[in-house]
Structure 1
Amino acid sequence: MAEERVLGGRYRLLSQLGRGGMGEVWQAVDELLDRSVAVKLIRAGRAGSEEVAARFRREARLTARLAGHPNVVILHDFGYDGAHGGSGPVYAVMELVAGRSLTAVLRESGPMPVPRAADLVSQAASGLGAAHAAGIVHRDVKPGNLMVVEEGSGGGTVKVLDFGIAALTAATQSRRITRTGQVIGTPLYMSPEQVRGERVERAGDLYSLGAILYQLLTGQPPFASQDSLAVLHRHLVEAPRPAAQLRPEVPEPLSELVGSMLAKRAQERPATAEEVRDRLAPFLASGPIRPSRPRSEPRTGTPAPVPPTRPYTRVATTRPETVGPEDPGRLLALVDGARATADAGQFAAAARELRGLLPRLRSTFGPEHPDTLRARRREAYLTGKSGEHRRAVERLDALLADLARLHGARHPEALAVRHYLATNAGRAGDHALAARVHGDLVPDLVALHGPDAERVLTTRLYLAFEAGEAGGPERAVELLEELVPDLTRVLGEDDPSTLRARHYLAAYLGHSGRPAEAARRYHALLAHHTRVHGAQSAEAERIRAHLRQWQDRARG
């Protein structure tokens, strides 16, 4: 490959970082944004089929939603090498991180201290849990796809690599194993269902993570042999020796967790990556708490936050009562009970339950522990869901300051809190605050994800609406006239967000003193809704009512 090759008209390859069975990894520079990136080339001949490449494209789009998570290597872009007329290698553009793979760490360490092993796997589970919540399964969890960065006294930060790219590897791997008996890569971490060539779901990722935890604790994988097919067979039929038998200092509950993660039947493994993290929590060393992903919440294009340039109104808070520490597992079970209450639609009751648990969480885990902070965020979120939007704004405001101080403004918890803060401020009638939050986010989101990311476009739509509701219809019109063409180009003219933006634009044109223009826009929008939804649809009828309103005002 010639040096200084440019992919997609913007990614200039500089030096090769590695080569494997599926392709090559290069250090490159994104000339459009002037940043260093890593580019992985997946050779078309190894991709297997256009169907598999299409799967990669779909998963890459999903993976882009994980940007900003501290335990995920960000996928920036993907495409085909145009120099080969579209038949060249698939390429993926990723965040460039400095670190070592867990494979390299394992070569040097042997069995790890229990707290460090628990910490590394807990972080990997955090990244996988975020992906699972977004509907993404990795399918190729192994030490080579876990990067350890910032090593030192803290043990390092784990980042999960190759989401989306793993779809190509795993699909090709499973197909060739089942059809030809040929093993691609290492079989040491493959789940029984993957060995059988079945669809790999979240439980398959947890099995692979369990095999990694087993190796970190014992110094060897659960099944090892020079014969790869023999290893695959043992994954199907043989239970590994308990980790505590091989290494007596491994606590029995931790050994039981590893055994459950390596269960042959998927339904017998932990239900979620969050459960794995919760069960690892008692074995973590005391010390600085690492960032972690929020538990599953509805995701509606929540933006990646940064500290506001103007301070929010601070709310005086009282110091919580001090209570004695208690069993962490029981306390987290009570938190999960509050989640079940919320899932049943009883938002106010769930908020009260969490409010009562917060002093106990602070005492048991500490005020800066991720579980304490998550519970605060969840309580504030449910307070807003129960209709107490002003009270929610107060709580979210206080929490945001703590999160920004502890973990940095782009931590996923801060991301969620900023979104909830703006949402509740708008619903409480403080549209100026809501507009300010969204307005502060837009340029930073563009820098992080590019101008065409869906979350950028969604935040711009929120900003325009809140600016209009705050008494600035002219400003809303200005924002929407810039936004509608971008939404149409990126999401399509029939997308609900595009149609909603056109509706807002027509309305704010009228409110800014241009009723004839509003009527004209609503007339065009009615024709569009009639084509998409039908003339008698509720959507078309609503637009028809707005049209009549602005026609009457234009005539008057």
Structure 2
Amino acid sequence: MPEEQVLGGRYRLLSRLGAGGMGEVWKAVDELLDRPVAVKLIQPERVDSAEAAARFRREVRLTARLAGHPNVVILHDFGHDADDGRAAGAVFAVMELVQGRPLTEVLRESGPMPLARAATLASQAASGLGAAHAAGIVHRDVKPGNLMVIERGSSEGTLKVLDFGIAALTAATRTDRITRTGQVVGTPLYMSPEQIRGDQVDRPSDLYSLGAILFQLLTGKPPFRDPNPLTVLRMHLTDAPPSAATVRPEIPRELSDLVTALLAKRPEDRPAHAEEVRERLAPFLPPLRPSPAPSPVPAPALAPTRPYTEEAPRRPEPETAVHPSRLRELVEAARARVDAGEYGPAAEELRALLPLLSTALGKDHPDTLRARRREAYATGKSGDHARAVRGFEALLPDLVRLYGPRHPETLAVRYYLATNAGRAGDHALAARTHAGLLPDLVSVHGEDAERVLSTRLYLAFELGESGEPGRAVESLASLVPDLARLRGGDDALTLRARHYQAAYLGHSGRPEEAVRHYEALVAHHTRLHGENATRTRTVRSHLAQWQERVRR
């Protein structure tokens, strides 16, 4: 390709950075926005069908949702240029230009890494993958060559996942050729068993690949090795992986167990999501900045007992600075109190720790954000729902900015915000939050997922309580059949939805219909529980109330 070629009338190619299985990567300048970019020219045979081209466009559009995540190389644009000197034209992707090295090179130089650095890099990879999974994106080709390490500014390095949206084409072609012809395309060292078999590939496949990488970070070698690539594929399918702690005895058992869990043959036996991986890696992360020795004084005694605000927290005096590892211990102790049901004391302890966490780790650090979520959660469970709402409302914009709206942490906070708003009496806020949450839950979990069904029920309830019983009835008219189909007519959630349906029919000006629904519901409860059961008597009392209104 001639120098100074311009693609799409906008991207001027300056110098070739490298080449690989997908094509060439060029340093370029976006002349419209006057910024440096990386342009990947994709081999025409990768997108030589309408189906492949459609898949590429779909993946790239999804990838745009990840813009701004610190552990993702942003994909800015894509296009097709017929004037590049090739008969077929150039299919290209435009990405953030990152000044770093592939993890492949770092591993080649380092061998087994210190535990803290290995945990840090793997945690950052899990962060990028988790954000993608929450947005409905599966990478499908997680390997060291697709992980970029930026080594300035942090002793452990900053890691970014690249080739989201592009890897789908590589993985689809690779799996198809392996299963049809036995030909290995690319490296098999990090491929999941389901990908090798040609089964449907989903988020657990990315986590398996991350487990193989974490094994290599810790031990210096991938879990399965052989000169023959097909033998490596067979080992992924049939052989138990070696224990990382057996290869390197100083690896803690909990860290070795995480690697083993990630490398489970069955997807359902692996960690549930990338956020769980990050939580299990957290105890092995290093302090993020030099710090004095751990303070013997408990942090809550050092911190002002006030709610977290977005204002910059006051730095503790030097003599009261608390080591990050000590802060994490105190957070875990407060979390244990939450688990034990001691919500009020736990909320106070976490509230006192938040300014120290923000100072020591940074306000955007995952540990700080999780502590804010747990403080608001414990506050709500203690009965102070209005204060919990304020905490979740302050936290939510930060999670959306850092992780996107569909990350597991963001989804959890949106749910807690809605439930606490309803319990605080702000049913309109609760309804708005549930309504906004619902389509994202459907996208992540599917229409029939438990979380989706319960959120639909809560949305209907909050609509009814906020003065919109007609909209509640409309929602319940489709929800009740879905619950009966998926959970059965005798399920408690199905019966509760029918109860709401009857009540909001009456409140929307249709009392005769409410009576008919309650009559059917009383008969159902009588059959299930007997006519003198508490639940039966409760429904019967509602029936009597609406019968009285009809007689008036």
Asked whether the 8 Å contact 1:331–1:361 carries over to 2, the reply is no
In the TM superposition, residue 360 of structure 1 has moved relative to its aligned partner by 6.3
Task: Name the count of aligned residue pairs.
Answer: 383
Structure 1: how far apart are the matches of 2:255 and 2:32?
48
Alignment deviations for residues 233-288 of structure 1 (CA, whole Å, 9 cap, x no partner): 00000012111111111111111110110000011111111111111111111224
Q: Which residue of 1 is the match for residue 274 of structure 2?
A: 273
1:83 partner SS: coil
Residues 187/245 of structure 1: CA separation in 2 closer, same or farther (3 Å cut): same
Residues 136/329 of structure 1: CA separation in 2 closer, same or farther (3 Å cut): farther
Asked whether the 8 Å contact 1:38–1:96 carries over to 2, the reply is yes
Q: Which residue of 2 is the match for residue 292 of structure 1?
A: none
Q: Which residue of 1 is the match for residue 439 of structure 2?
A: none
Q: Which residue of 2 is the match for residue 35 of structure 1?
A: 35
In the TM superposition, residue 49 of structure 1 has moved relative to its aligned partner by 2.7
In the TM superposition, residue 197 of structure 1 has moved relative to its aligned partner by 0.9
Q: Which residue of 2 is the match for residue 219 of structure 1?
A: 220
Q: TM (normalized to structure 2)?
A: 0.60
Q: Which residue of 2 is the match for residue 127 of structure 1?
A: 128
Residues 327/235 of structure 1: CA separation in 2 closer, same or farther (3 Å cut): farther
Q: Which residue of 2 is the match for residue 24 of structure 1?
A: 24
In the TM superposition, residue 373 of structure 1 has moved relative to its aligned partner by 2.6
| Aligned partner of 1:373 among 331, 356, 369 | 369
| 2:205 aligned with 1:209 | no
Asked whether the 8 Å contact 1:374–1:413 carries over to 2, the reply is no
1:32 partner SS: coil
Q: Residues 212-251 of structure 1 correspond to what in structure 2 (within 5 A)?
A: 212-251=213-252
Q: Which residue of 1 is the match for residue 174 of structure 2?
A: 173
Structure 1: how far apart are the matches of 2:232 and 2:259?
18
Asked whether the 8 Å contact 1:146–1:159 carries over to 2, the reply is yes
In the TM superposition, residue 387 of structure 1 has moved relative to its aligned partner by 11
| 2:66 aligned with 1:66 | yes
In the TM superposition, residue 151 of structure 1 has moved relative to its aligned partner by 3.7
In the TM superposition, residue 397 of structure 1 has moved relative to its aligned partner by 6.2
| 2:69 aligned with 1:78 | no
Q: TM (normalized to structure 1)?
A: 0.60
Structure 2: how far apart are the matches of 1:333 and 1:139?
37
Asked whether the 8 Å contact 1:326–1:364 carries over to 2, the reply is no
Q: Residues 468-487 of structure 1 correspond to what in structure 2 (within 5 A)?
A: none
Asked whether the 8 Å contact 1:124–1:160 carries over to 2, the reply is yes
Residues 8/325 of structure 1: CA separation in 2 closer, same or farther (3 Å cut): closer
Asked whether the 8 Å contact 2:219–2:247 carries over to 1, the reply is yes
Structure 1: how far apart are the matches of 2:356 and 2:311?
24
Output the aligned Cα RMSD. 4.3
- Further displaced range: 91-100 or 145-154: 145-154
Q: Residues 380-399 of structure 1 correspond to what in structure 2 (within 5 A)?
A: none
In the TM superposition, residue 372 of structure 1 has moved relative to its aligned partner by 2.7
Asked whether the 8 Å contact 1:80–1:88 carries over to 2, the reply is yes
Structure 2: how far apart are the matches of 1:390 and 1:331?
18
In the TM superposition, residue 375 of structure 1 has moved relative to its aligned partner by 3.5
Amino acid at match of 2:187: T
In the TM superposition, residue 399 of structure 1 has moved relative to its aligned partner by 10
Alignment deviations for residues 141-193 of structure 1 (CA, whole Å, 9 cap, x no partner): 00000000134652210000000000010000100000111111100000000
Residues 378/35 of structure 1: CA separation in 2 closer, same or farther (3 Å cut): farther
Q: Which residue of 1 is the match for residue 488 of structure 2?
A: none
In the TM superposition, residue 13 of structure 1 has moved relative to its aligned partner by 0.9
Residues 147/81 of structure 1: CA separation in 2 closer, same or farther (3 Å cut): same
In the TM superposition, residue 105 of structure 1 has moved relative to its aligned partner by 0.3
Percent of residue pairs identical: 62
Amino acid at match of 1:255: S
Alignment deviations for residues 461-493 of structure 1 (CA, whole Å, 9 cap, x no partner): xxxxxxxxxxxxxxxxxxxxxxxxxxxxxxxxx
Structure 1: tracts of 5 or more residues without a match: 290-311, 342-348, 428-556
2:83 partner SS: helix
Q: Which residue of 2 is the match for residue 8 of structure 1?
A: 8
Structure 2: how far apart are the matches of 1:398 and 1:49?
45
Asked whether the 8 Å contact 2:139–2:165 carries over to 1, the reply is yes
Structure 2: how far apart are the matches of 1:213 and 1:165?
23
Structure 2: how far apart are the matches of 1:334 and 1:64?
40
Structure 2: tracts of 5 or more residues without a match: 291-308, 317-321, 422-552
Structure 1: how far apart are the matches of 2:200 and 2:277?
22
Asked whether the 8 Å contact 1:354–1:375 carries over to 2, the reply is no
Asked whether the 8 Å contact 2:195–2:201 carries over to 1, the reply is yes
Structure 2: how far apart are the matches of 1:314 and 1:21?
48
Q: Which residue of 2 is the match for residue 98 of structure 1?
A: 99
Q: Which residue of 1 is the match for residue 265 of structure 2?
A: 264
Alignment deviations for residues 376-416 of structure 1 (CA, whole Å, 9 cap, x no partner): 257669999x997898568866999xx8xxx9x97559999
In the TM superposition, residue 4 of structure 1 has moved relative to its aligned partner by 1.3
Residues 150/316 of structure 1: CA separation in 2 closer, same or farther (3 Å cut): closer
Residues 43/328 of structure 1: CA separation in 2 closer, same or farther (3 Å cut): same
Residues 363/98 of structure 1: CA separation in 2 closer, same or farther (3 Å cut): closer
1:144 partner SS: helix
Asked whether the 8 Å contact 1:351–1:380 carries over to 2, the reply is no
Larger radius of gyration: 2
